[in-house]
Amino acid sequence: MGVYDDIQDGKYENKKPWPKRTGSKASAALTAENTRLRHAYREEEARLTALLKSDLEKEFKVAGHPKAGKLWELAWEKGHAYGYSEVCLEYSVLAELLQ
């Protein structure tokens, strides 16, 4: 089972709640709670993205390669707007250049 299958199985899916939208008259406590929830969500998203990157490097055997960071940047740039699956596909195509 590879990274693409892990994506389909939800391994990199952020399960943290995103805060509900509040009006301009929201209490300070609710605003603070929403800020906390947003921060927790973004931290989890960063952790999952780093995990995806690490797993792709291992799967395509480019971990430690001097151009591995650039490979990730290009795959991310081309694919992230369409989801992790597209990043994985772009990564697989570009990884051939390093082997």
Reported as a single tens digit per residue, the pLDDT across 42-65 is 999 999 999 999 999 999 999 999
pTM: 0.88
Whole-number pLDDT of residue 65: 95
Q: Is pLDDT at 19 greater than 80 in this prediction?
A: yes
Which DSSP string corresponds to the chain? Answer: --HHHHHHTTTT---SPPPPP--TT--HHHHHHHHHHHHHHHHHHHHHHHHHHHHHHHHTT-TT-TTHHHHHHHHHHHHGGG-HHHHHHHHHHHHGGG-
pLDDT band at 26 (very low <50, low <70, confident <90, very high): low
Q: Is pLDDT at 4 greater than 80 in this prediction?
A: yes
Q: Is pLDDT at 94 greater than 90 in this prediction?
A: yes
Q: Is pLDDT at 5 greater than 80 in this prediction?
A: yes
Q: Containing domain of residue 85, as a range?
A: 3-98
Give me the number of domains the chain comprises. 1
Q: What is the mean pLDDT of the chain?
A: 92
